[in-house]
Structure 1
Amino acid sequence: MLSTESGEVNCITMFKSCLRYPFHLKVLWLVILLGCDSNLPHTNEEDQKGQTALVPQHKFAGTKTCVSCHTKEYQDWQGSHHDKAMQVADSRTILADFDSAKFLSNGVLSIFYQKDNKYFVQTTGRDGQPHEYQIIYTFGIHPLQQYIVAFPKGAYQCLQTAWDTEKKKWFDLQPDLDIAPNEWLHWTGNAMKWNTACADCHSTDLRKNFDVGSETYHTTFEEINVGCESCHGPADKHVTFYETNAKGTPPPLYMHNNMRPKELVQKCARCHSRRAQTTSFFDYKGHFLDHYDPSLIITPTYEPDGQILDEDYVYGSFVQSKMYQNGITCRDCHNVHSLKLKKTGNALCLNCHEPGYNTPSHHFHKINTEASQCINCHMTGKLYMGNDFRRDHSFRVPRPDQSVEYGTPNACNGCHKDKTPNWAADVIVSHFGETREDHFSDHLLAGYHENLERLHELISNKTYPEIARATAMYYYASRISPAEVKKIEKFLNDPDVLVKNETIRAFSQLGLGNYLPQIKPLLEDPVRLIRLSALEYVNKYEPNTQRTSIYQAAEQEYMTFMDMSADHTSGQQRKAQYLEAKGDVTGAIRAYRKAIEIDNHYNQARMNLALLLYKEGNTSEAEALYLKVIEQEPHVSYPHYMLGLLYHETGKNEKAIEYLRQACSRTPAILRAHYNYALILQQNKQYDKSIKAINEALLTFVDNEELLYIRLVAELNSKQLQEAYNTCLLLVELAPANPNYQQTLQEIKRNLESN
């Protein structure tokens, strides 16, 4: 007979690897800025293995040197968003009202004024009290301008109150949030720190230069704004070549006219993407993925189908599109120097598309109206930063049928707000027929809603966008069991870097240390992002590995990555995991605590710290940490689940049942939460409740073998033989090669016949 003896003996230990993927997702990688003395000496501190130096040993010549030869480009650039990305605050650059203007939001009063030809704000500081701060820099020009003040230890902070340059008024960037002074999102916190969140993309040759020991910034830039060399790379040799009338081939620039389409996009992606930086500074060598780890198209940054939700800065959307796959780039639509569109309205789209698309027979709206504009159907948008409307660059066909099935937004109902998605779906069918063209989002949405087969289909189809395939791997790995892992082994050799990278992370998340022979060689992969993920895996499962030259080179890159992000919550989280893998429990605990100190709402670190403390025997603090997470995020399932496991293993049975029950009613759905809840009910001989809980879980995890197995156990133990027979039939159908199911089915059948 079947039994539950093979159930989850040490649930907390088994769940440990699941915590390595974030469940508490925030705006971790904003864009910020900072200022210091320019023209400071800069040296390339890194030997980047496996990369071709396009501009070795070059120095910056300065934007002014470009004017004599590139007058038209310079004139286009002047006054652009790049030109005005950041400026010293003075009467020429400040656009806002500093004539003793007052602004009140969420109980915080800010007063803007001038004194001695300088600009100041009086507002609530880190201690919750009003203080005077001098405005040092301006940030941006349209449709808003932000202002930056200096803080101790070389830090610069962006005010939460910004100036609306269209409506000519002050406004709150987060009007719907009542942010406490000690929170990460407060303007004095890390989320609004220029050095870490904005600076890398608003100045030329930005170097954060964070000193871990003193927790001090020595941030520098070559030019305060986004100058010519910010995109084209250091140009001193280029300039010298022409000034001296040298013969031969001129030295190459980082960005040039002969780049292939996808090469151009990945170079623009450096700033126009939601990403984490992995190197101490960008040195104009190698690929985008040698310096950055881009966000996948996961919630809550994106809608479940990949449409924009939070800010993505274009790249993550654009690489989903057919335009990108077919060689269209940023410069096909935008003047790359002025940043303006090359044409307005549908005329821009008709540069490539047939004129028939600009007729009522296609868009079914009156010509020359807002409704007839291509962008309003194929580039819907959202407001960010309070007043900045940005369009989705995935260029997708409206899919109200997906809205009906999955609740995703669609362009039709974006305008026809008085209509339902069913109405919009019917209209599409009436105009274009029943069949929709194949799109990766069909698989991604089904997979997001627990259809693992569709996720696997998406991962396996190399015609789909790389970022979509990698995202499918992210979701797939979080939902399969270790027994199913062979289905993704082959993707360790996938030609798409993001897919390969996510596969390495999947093996780590699943707690599978037996893939060292396949992953160790990736320590010398040509792409740094792969090397970093491989190093994390090797450290986790073979922390005392032989320190070969290959390993040492990868580890040095990883140490640089950790030091670069040590001022950020995620950096301390990463450091803690590294130290924990190395056996330095004290150091790991210290790093987890530092992550929470930086951001009191960074509950991924709090969860990992709780698990580590539990392993060290400190159950009381572990319990308190889980309860704190629940207090801050009561809707999230993971802390309830982990606390339920803790109570079960410490003998607090009633509390264990209650918290596991709560975990099953929260999001995201966790298979193991439902499994363990049903199991603990059976251990308490509450078989009917267990069966009910399993049946509810099966609505989400359809035909899951593990759930059906323990339902069979409960039905047998409660003498529900006919129900047990039906369940066992289903198990035989799902796993016909399992002899135990066949044997049990025959035994149940004999018992039914004898009765």
Structure 2
Amino acid sequence: MKFNSIKISFIFFLGIVLFSCNSDKAKKEQYTVVNEVKQTFVGGNTCIACHEEEYKLWKGSHHDQAMKIADSVSILANFNNTSFTHNSVTSKFYKKDGNFYVNTQGKDGKYHDYKIVYTFGFTPLQQYIVQFPNGAYQCLLTAWDSKKNKWFHLQPNLDIHHEEWMNWTGGSQNWNTMCADCHSTNLHKNYSDKDQSYKTTFSEINVSCEACHGPSSEHVKYYEQENPTGTPPKSHMETGMDSKELVQKCARCHSRRSQTTDYYNYEGHFFDHYEQRLLIDPIYFLDGQIRDEDYVYASFVQSKMYSLGISCRDCHDVHSMQLKKQGNDLCLTCHVPAQYNTPEHHFHKENTEASQCINCHMTGRYYMGNDFRRDHSFRIPRPDQSEKYDTPNACNGCHDDKSAKWAADFIKEKYGEQRADHFSDHLLKGYFEDKEGFHEVIANSAYPEIARATAVNQLMNQNITQDDVTKLIAYLNDDSAWVRAETVRAIEKTGIDTYNASLQPLLKDTIRMVRIATARYFNMKNIDVNADPNFDKANKEFLNQMELNLDFASGQHQKALYYQSKNNNEGAIKCYEKALKIDNFYNMSRMNLALLYYQNGDKTKSETLYKKVIEQEPNFALSYYMLGLLYNENGDTSKSLKYLKLASEKEPASVNAFYNYALKLQENKDFNKAEKAVNRGLKSFPNNERLLYIKTIILVNSNQLSKAYQTCSVLNTNYPNNQNYQQLMQNIQLSIQNN
């Protein structure tokens, strides 16, 4: 039997979330129809004369303070020759000639003086921005705690190397891409991949009136008339707007998303401009609760309140963003006090922190070091899920000296045995028990769209059958853009290209992100649909999105995959190399680049890259596995066995690693080790066909015929239609009889 050589398809690590539809009829997506007259930005000061009260509420708000020119008024921090040290890096803050400066470590590892040009935010922290020569603006990771009046580090638990993407000079703190679109008005990033430069522009430095209401030239022109007649031009956000449309428009900035268009033009649906992240670890816990920063939208759309028509404006003043009422009074605006604001409901002493609705139904977490933000999914505590799946819950968040079982038993005692059905019950089932749980979430249109789309996405991490794919096809025509899109991506991941006729109508979907997803599908499959008149538009949108994100390592990675789909390996190599220049720790690109180098005959470069991955991620199994295959191809049995063994011991566990390690051992007639290796594999992947087969061969070759017969019996029971396995079993039986 021959050892599997390097015949592994490229590792397609996808970093985008998309949407889709298989119907000629328009989907019921709500959004305001923009006036045909193209409006321009005129500045927030033009609004004051008519909207003085709204202006007063906005003045001093987080939107107003989102970004300011750095001066003695806007800067809150102490720049009077102060310093702060984090992980041996000391930053010194001082003033010179009326300007504000920091002396700190740059990308080259050396210390430099940097002028502060902008402030970012004001409470509970304020960041400071430095301008770089290529038009990039970078946010310092050392920030000012404006409540405790002291310097602190935004990532206190991380030891960040000066060359890392996470460093303040790297992509994670790049204002142009990571921050600007939501902190200023009418932002145009204007990135050039040719020379890796920015020419970013904005109309107003902060989040002014037109950031939310859209360009207002026609609005102002209409009301400047002495006797206005006719219909006033529509504003992007108006009084009386549908609640879900309002949430969608706020989502533009209050969400964990990426851009799909050059700039936001105030037209169309949220998903015509942005891609929202799904409820996937590490941003969310597996039940959908917040883990990393989510900026509220994705948690809120999980809630029952959202489904019933509650929106941001019901709790927050839309101009000051302050809560309309404090404490339980806010919740009791809608919820009956006698039913909920009593010890008989919350079982805590009245008028205490424990009796506050938000502390049971809006648990929170600290982000950026000192910024406490609450989970807006408004969920009922589920310690029973914590007991079973190790998810967090509000009860044990306070009663951390008690077990999840204690909390679950208390809930049963006080509220009864049955819990209200929640999508998380089935989502968690899909992760930990049976993939059918994912199907249950997808099929229930009453569940939140984001949960259903997440279930589609995560289903593809399971052992997928043809029946699973058949079920998914129906969702190409789902009412949810989220679900349609994830279904497109799921079908792409299957590698099956027999559903092209079902996918092609999605090229004219009403939502841009769905069209992009579909164009991507046909591109990555290299399927020619140029004859379809809808492909040209969708493809331009797909290519534009790809170009837009080239200042991200993930963006370069995506373009590299695109080049590979077109058999342009030279272009792919350049993009992978650019990705690593942007982020030296972006090992998805390093792994793919190593394989391309290998296929081009440069085994030395390939070996170097795999070793670099191992150096940076010593527990990542795939790099060891690929090195093991490479050494096998080179005829270095000793090194091949060494790295294949390590691959079988690292994470994530891989059938290929166990299979090839066992196969190589039995080639060397080390049958005892080979059997042990395959048995370890079967613990992780019970009844796996390849592992059962190689185990049978190992047992036959080591003359353990009775055990070989038993293993082959299991193989035939699980895979009864394979005649080769039937013949193998007969041969083993004959050998036993002859012995």
TM-score between both structures, scaled by the size of structure 2: 0.90
Q: Rate the CA distance shift 1:413–1:657 in 2: closer, same or farther, 3 A.
A: farther
Quick one: which amino acid aligns to residue 262 of structure 2? S
The verdict on how the C-alpha distance between 1:407 and 1:671 changes in structure 2, with shifts beyond 3 A counting, is farther
| 1:148 equivalenced with 2:155 (yes/no) | no
- Over residues 161-213 of structure 1, what are the superposed CA-to-partner deviations in whole Å (9 max), with x where a residue is unaligned? 11100000111112222222222111111211111110000001101111232
State the distance in 1 between where 2:108 and 2:150 align.
Answer: 27
Structure-1 residue corresponding to 2:195 = 214
Aligned to 1:276: 258
CA distance in 2, matches of 1:319, 1:418: 32
Pair 698,390 (structure 1): closer, same or farther in 2 beyond 3 Å? farther
Could you report, residue by residue, the CA deviation over 1:300-326 in whole angstroms, capped at 9, with x for unpaired residues? 111222221111111121122222222
- CA drift of 1:252 comes to 1.4
Q: Which has the higher contact order (CA 8 A, sep 6+)?
A: 2
Q: 1:234 maps to which residue?
A: 215
Instruction: Select which of 341, 366, 371 maps to 2:349.
Output: 366
**Aligned AA for 1:13?**
I
Aligned length: 723
Residues in 1 aligned to 2:601 and 2:499: alpha-carbon distance in whole angstroms: 31
Whether 1:468 and 2:461 are equivalent positions in the alignment is no
Tell me the residue number matched to 1:430.
413
Q: What whole-Å deviation, never above 9, does each CA across 1:138-171 have from its counterpart, x for those lacking one?
A: 1001100011111102111111111100000111
Q: What is the match of residue 250 of structure 1?
A: 232
Distance 2:718 2:220 in 1: 69
Does structure 1 residue 20 correspond to structure 2 residue 13?
A: yes
For residues 659 and 473 of structure 1, the distance between their equivalents in structure 2, rounded to whole angstroms, comes to 35
Residue in 2 that maps onto 1:37: none
Equivalent-residue separation in structure 2 for 1:440 and 1:294 (angstroms): 19
In structure 2, relative to structure 1, the CA distance for the partners of 1:13 and 1:517 (3 Å cut) is farther
1:602 aligns with 2:582: no
User: Please, what is the CA RMSD of the aligned residues?
Assistant: 2.9
Counterpart of 1:44?
Answer: none
Change (3 A) 1:711 1:283: same
Larger mean CA deviation between 199-208 and 306-315 belongs to 306-315
Number of the residue aligned with 1:352: 334
Distance of aligned partners of 1:174 and 1:681 in 2 relative to their CA distance in 1, 3 Å threshold: same
Q: Output the amino acid matched with 2:136.
A: A
Q: 1:720 to 1:159 in 2, by over 3 A?
A: same
Map of 2:485 onto structure 1: 501
Aligned to 1:91: 72
Matching residue of 2:603:
619
1:626 counterpart letter in structure 2: Y
Structure 2 residue corresponding to 1:294, chosen from 276, 280, 286: 276
The alpha-carbon distance between structure 1 residues 733 and 333, as it changes in their structure 2 partners (threshold 3 A), is: farther
Is the 1:447–1:454 Cα contact (8 Å) retained in structure 2? yes
Distance 1:446 1:675 in 2: 29
2:160 is paired with a residue whose SS is: coil
Shift of 1:452: 2.4
CA contact (8 A) 1:12 1:642 kept: no
Q: 8 Å contact 1:300–1:309 — kept in the other structure?
A: yes
| Corresponding position of 1:520 | 504
Inter-CA distance 52–266: structure 2 relative to 1 (3 Å threshold):
closer
**Conserved 8 A contact 2:316-2:322:** yes
Alpha-carbon distance in 2 for matches of 1:695, 1:454: 29
Compared CA separation, residues 252 and 189, structure 1 to 2 (3 A): same
**How far does the alpha carbon of each residue in 1:210-235 deviate from its partner, in whole angstroms, 9 at most, with x for none?**
12323221111111111111111111
State how far apart, in whole Å, the 2-side matches of 1:587 and 1:143 are. 45
Q: Which moved more, 1:722-731 or 1:384-393?
A: 722-731
Counterpart position of 1:640: 624
More displaced 10-residue stretch of structure 1: 664-673 or 289-298? 664-673
Spell out, residue by residue over 1:94-151, the C-alpha distance to the aligned partner (whole angstroms, 9 max, x if none).
Answer: 1111111222222122222222222122222222222222111110011000111111
Q: 1:239 to 1:415 in 2, by over 3 A?
A: same
Report what 1:421 is aligned to.
404
> Would the alpha carbon gap of residues 339 and 686 (structure 1) be closer, same or farther in structure 2, given more than 3 Å must change?
farther
Superposed, which structure 2 residues align to 1:686-705 within 5 Å? 686=670, 689-705=673-689
User: 2:550, 2:460 → 1: CA distance?
Assistant: 28
Deviation at 1:534, TM superposition (A): 1.7
Q: Is the 8 Å Cα contact of residues 544 and 582 (structure 1) preserved in structure 2?
A: no
Structure 1 window deviating more from structure 2 (158-167 vs 629-638): it is: 629-638
Tell me if the contact between 1:183 and 1:189 (Cα under 8 Å) persists in the aligned partners. Answer: yes
CA distance in 2, matches of 1:654, 1:457: 49
- Say whether residues 1:187 and 2:171 are aligned partners: no
Distance 1:491 1:649 in 2: 44
CA distance in 1 between partners of 2:310 and 2:31 (Å) = 26
Report the CA distance between 1:664 and its aligned residue.
3.4
Q: Give the Cα separation in 1 of the matches to 2:539 and 2:55.
A: 42
Q: Residues 5-44 of structure 1: matches in 2 within 5 Å? A: 9=4, 12-14=7-9, 16=10, 18-21=11-14
Note if contact 1:55-1:254 (Cα within 8 Å) is conserved in structure 2. no
Report how far residue 265 of structure 1 moved: 1.3
Aligned to 2:34: 54
Contact 1:482/1:512, CA 8 A, preserved across alignment: no
Relative distance call for 1:734 and 1:463 in structure 2 (3 A) is farther
1:390 has 2:385 as partner = no
The one of 312, 324, 328 equivalent to 2:294 is 312
Matched, 1:448 2:431: yes
Q: Distance in 2 between matches of 1:689 and 1:271?
A: 56
CA contact (8 A) 1:161 1:170 kept: yes
**Alpha-carbon contact 1:12-1:611 (below 8 Å) kept:** no
8 Å contact from structure 1 (residues 321, 395) kept in 2: yes
Greater mean alpha carbon deviation, residues 409-418 or residues 162-171: 409-418
Aligned to 2:243: 261
Contact 2:517 2:542 in 1 (8 A): no
In 2, Cα distance between the equivalents of 1:497 and 1:684? 54
Residue 543 of structure 1: how far off its partner (Å): 5.9
- Unaligned ranges ≥5, structure 1: 29-49
CA deviations 1:572-630 (Å, max 9, x no partner) are 11111112222221111111100100110111111111122222222221222122112
Distance 2:525 2:5 in 1: 19
Sequence identity, in percent?
53
Identify if the C-alpha distance between structure 1 residues 454 and 431 changes in structure 2 by more than 3 Å, giving closer, same or farther: same
**Stretch deviating more after TM superposition (582-591 or 544-553):** 544-553
| Corresponding residue SS for 1:154 | coil
Determine the structure 1 residue equivalent to 2:204.
223
CA distance in 1, matches of 2:414, 2:665: 54
Secondary structure at the residue paired with 1:113? Answer: strand
CA 1:200–1:489 in structure 2 vs 1: closer, same or farther (change >3 Å)? Answer: same
Structure 2: distance between partners of 1:359 and 1:53: 46
The DSSP-based 3-state class of the residue aligned with 2:12 is: helix
CA distance in 1, matches of 2:478, 2:637: 46
Q: Structure 2 regions of 5+ residues with no counterpart?
A: 18-29
The whole-number CA distance in structure 2 between the counterparts of 1:454 and 1:596 is 38
Q: Which range moved further: 661-670 or 122-131?
A: 661-670
